[in-house]
Structure 1
Amino acid sequence: MRAVQVVEFGRPPVVAEVPEPVVQGPDDVVVRIAGAGICRTDLHIVEGGLEAAFQQRLPLTLGHENAGWVEAVGTGVSHVAVGDPVIVHPAVTCGFCDACRRGMDMHCGTWRFPGVDGWAGGYAELMVTSARALVKLAQGTEPATLAPFADAGLTAMHAVRRLAPFVSGGGVGATVVCLGAGGVGQIAVQLLKILTPATVVVVEPDSVRAETARTLGADAVLPLPAEQAADAVLDLTGGRGAQAVLDLVGEGAVPEQAMRMLAKGAVYSIVGYGGGVRIEHLDMINRELTLLGNQIGTHAELSELMRLVAAGRVSLATEVFPLDAAAEAMAAVGEGKVAGRAVLVP
């Protein structure tokens, strides 16, 4: 079968012929991929930026945002059957440790991360995962363009759920600032309007994404780079600052700007990465700030999100590319030419 692999860090991925995955254990499921979302993490992998963090060995089949149909199941699988449409949670977990039993799949001590840590991902015609990772979709669902919800959507859901307590008690005038309105940001804006009473302010310099954020319900859009956003947010809030900042950029001077725009008692919720900020303890104490890092989300959150999508309450613009054009599609994402989320279709 065809699969898109990183064979050398710093060079575009290639389409290779690899053996088809097969069921080996009782909980294994082979999924026929309908669509695989392109995440910026995939670009970082190609560049070699995650090699040390995940001890990656090449060749590596990419793809951690996956949806498709069940192709084959192990003897212990009963909640899905061949032909069922499914979306695939990014983590493969044990199901028995304390974290798994609490529903915190991404905290499993033995978790695997297909498409990232060496387990073959979904930039392919088929992939194997654990039955525990699957969320069954309604019969007749076309899963291809739903693939980005497996990570972009799940991460947004997890992050919004965690910051909601900081704004839900803020009453009239509570403000959440969303730095960036790409795929994750577009989903986050909708979830913030559904799950919190806050005024949602989006910082996005790209005119197409800015207009999309307005269409999706943002109360205000600041069309400027996140690196220059703090003063504008402070002006917009009468000097008070935001009760929450959801940082989907995380690079360069953005973290410093995010810290500046926080109100007293606020939370800085981090999704984007690549940069950093110096933490001044006295400032943290005096403003009683909270920092939250967000790593994907739980199986329950993915199930809830898919119910919202099925009900038409959350949507995402996608651009479809053939699997053989993966390198070109990833380049388009890296150059900011995809307004929402790119999806590879075998």
Structure 2
Amino acid sequence: MKAAVLHQYDETLERDELVRYETVPDPEIESPTDVIIRVGGAGVCRTDLHVVEGLWRNHADVTLPYIMGHENAGWVEEIGRAVTSVKVGDAVICHPLVTSGHCLACRRGDDMHAEESRFPGINADGGYAEYLRSGERALIKLPPSLAPQDVAPYTDAGLTAYRAAKKASRHLLPGQFAVIIGAGGLGHVGIQVLRALCAADIIVIDRSEAALTLALECGAHHAVIADGSEVAQIKDLTKGKGAEAVIDFVGEGSSVSQGLAMTRDGGYYYIVGYGGKVEIPTIDMITSEKTIVGNLVGTYPELVELMALADRGLVSLKTRQYSLENANQALKDLHHGLIHGRAVLIP
């Protein structure tokens, strides 16, 4: 099969060829519960850039060369002898983590903390290819309204945004405020999820006018340009008190300190993007009683819930499609901020 393969790390992301388009062996059934997927779409994620940079080399047990791509959807091509819930030809979306289902975390539905798992595209070959090896427990059948190439990025970007926005929606009341930092691939989904699950006023911050236009199209009530005055603007919009919830999809640079500054006393700061540091004096934690919440992708049931919203038209993805052989262009465009929404590779 054809695949876009990572052969070496590049901390600068300046090489012309970050991945190599080449012929590699097809994946094979290795376990009775394995499923081979014919990839219909593979999302291109900022995490993929971090993988290329080598940021994950000490956090994932992988040996180069290998195939990235952890946001995948397609059609069932082959099934292991124990598989009963899907059949060849079914259109499916893949939860990003393939788990055994035996550990206590799995039985509680806490997929991301499973003791036995593999993460295609992170610590195993992923979906930047014509075929992908996944597992029966990871698959969700798609309704006729949703095509694999249109929904692939939901498996990480969409699911991560859904998980954070769902947490926030549980305590947000009408008349309260939610701030979203970053209206990109995750943020534009998070806006729609908040609109679907709660009635809080949504304020979105981004450096890009185009991203803010997309945010308003997705249902944001207020758009704030990130020009150094955003904390003051948020305080003005929230009558000086800050927001009850801040969801930070950037997580680096000044967004962390600003996000905490925008969070009102007793409020919640949800950190999704990564690369920066959370630094706050303990006395400030005590006196403000702010809650800082980490978010790691999401569970299988949450992906089912997100697909239900997408099927009803309450959440949609803005995507830009590239052929698999143009994976380098997609990665470069993402790195240079030229993609508003999500990029998807089509084999």
Shorter-chain TM-score bucket reads over 0.9
Alignment of 1:53-72 (within 5 A): 53-72=59-78
- Do the aligned residues in 2 keep the contact of 1:27 with 1:76 (CA within 8 Å)? yes
How large is the RMSD of aligned CA atoms in angstroms? 1.2
What is the aligned counterpart of 1:25 among 31, 34, 51?
31
What SS does structure 2 have at the residue aligned with 1:144? Answer: helix
Q: Distance between the aligned counterparts of 2:85 and 2:170, measured in 1?
A: 34
Alignment of 1:168-317 (within 5 A): 168=173, 171-172=174-175, 174-225=176-227, 228-317=229-318
Q: Distance between the aligned counterparts of 2:145 and 2:218, measured in 1?
A: 26
Q: CA deviation at 1:165?
A: 2.8
Deviations 1:160-195 (A, max 9, x none): 112223323xx52x1110000011101100001111
* Residue of structure 1 equivalent to 2:83: 77
Normalization by structure 1: what TM-score?
A: 0.96
* Residue of structure 2 equivalent to 1:104: 110
- Do the aligned residues in 2 keep the contact of 1:166 with 1:267 (CA within 8 Å)? no
Q: CA deviation at 1:64?
A: 0.3
What is the aligned counterpart of 2:57 among 48, 51, 63?
51
Q: Distance between the aligned counterparts of 1:2 and 1:195, measured in 2?
A: 41
What SS does structure 2 have at the residue aligned with 1:51? Answer: coil
Q: Distance between the aligned counterparts of 1:277 and 1:158, measured in 2?
A: 20
Asked if residue 133 in structure 1 is aligned to residue 138 in structure 2, the reply is yes
Counterpart amino acid of residue 109 in structure 1: E
Q: CA deviation at 1:229?
A: 2.2
Q: Distance between the aligned counterparts of 2:69 and 2:252, measured in 1?
A: 23
What is the aligned counterpart of 2:152 among 147, 163, 166?
147
Counterpart amino acid of residue 3 in structure 1: A
* Residue of structure 1 equivalent to 2:332: 331
Q: CA deviation at 1:111?
A: 2.1
- Do the aligned residues in 2 keep the contact of 1:322 with 1:345 (CA within 8 Å)? yes
Q: Distance between the aligned counterparts of 1:229 and 1:52, measured in 2?
A: 35
- Do the aligned residues in 2 keep the contact of 1:69 with 1:83 (CA within 8 Å)? yes
Q: CA deviation at 1:53?
A: 1.6
What SS does structure 2 have at the residue aligned with 1:192? Answer: helix
Q: Distance between the aligned counterparts of 2:104 and 2:197, measured in 1?
A: 28
Q: Where do 5+ consecutive residues of structure 2 fail to align?
A: none
Normalization by structure 2: what TM-score?
A: 0.96
- Do the aligned residues in 1 keep the contact of 2:178 with 2:246 (CA within 8 Å)? yes
Q: CA deviation at 1:141?
A: 4.3
Deviations 1:123-149 (A, max 9, x none): 000000110000111247421121011
Q: Distance between the aligned counterparts of 1:299 and 1:40, measured in 2?
A: 22
- Do the aligned residues in 1 keep the contact of 2:95 with 2:303 (CA within 8 Å)? yes
Q: Distance between the aligned counterparts of 1:234 and 1:141, measured in 2?
A: 40
Q: Distance between the aligned counterparts of 1:143 and 1:297, measured in 2?
A: 19
* Residue of structure 1 equivalent to 2:47: 41
Q: CA deviation at 1:120?
A: 0.5
Extract structure 1 runs of 4+ deviating beyond 4 A: none
Q: CA deviation at 1:296?
A: 0.6
* Residue of structure 2 equivalent to 1:160: 165
Q: Distance between the aligned counterparts of 2:168 and 2:146, measured in 1?
A: 31
Deviations 1:238-289 (A, max 9, x none): 1100111100001111101111111011111011011113121111111111
Q: CA deviation at 1:23?
A: 1.3
What SS does structure 2 have at the residue aligned with 1:162? Answer: helix
Counterpart amino acid of residue 6 in structure 2: V
Q: Distance between the aligned counterparts of 2:217 and 2:247, measured in 1?
A: 19
Q: CA deviation at 1:55?
A: 3.6
Q: Where do 5+ consecutive residues of structure 1 fail to align?
A: none
- Do the aligned residues in 1 keep the contact of 2:145 with 2:311 (CA within 8 Å)? no
What SS does structure 2 have at the residue aligned with 1:183? Answer: coil
- Do the aligned residues in 2 keep the contact of 1:84 with 1:139 (CA within 8 Å)? no
Identical aligned residues as a percent: 43
Q: Distance between the aligned counterparts of 1:206 and 1:258, measured in 2?
A: 18
Structure-2 change in CA distance of 1:75 and 1:55 (3 Å): closer
Count of matched residue pairs:
341
Q: Distance between the aligned counterparts of 1:312 and 1:4, measured in 2?
A: 32
Q: CA deviation at 1:18?
A: 0.9
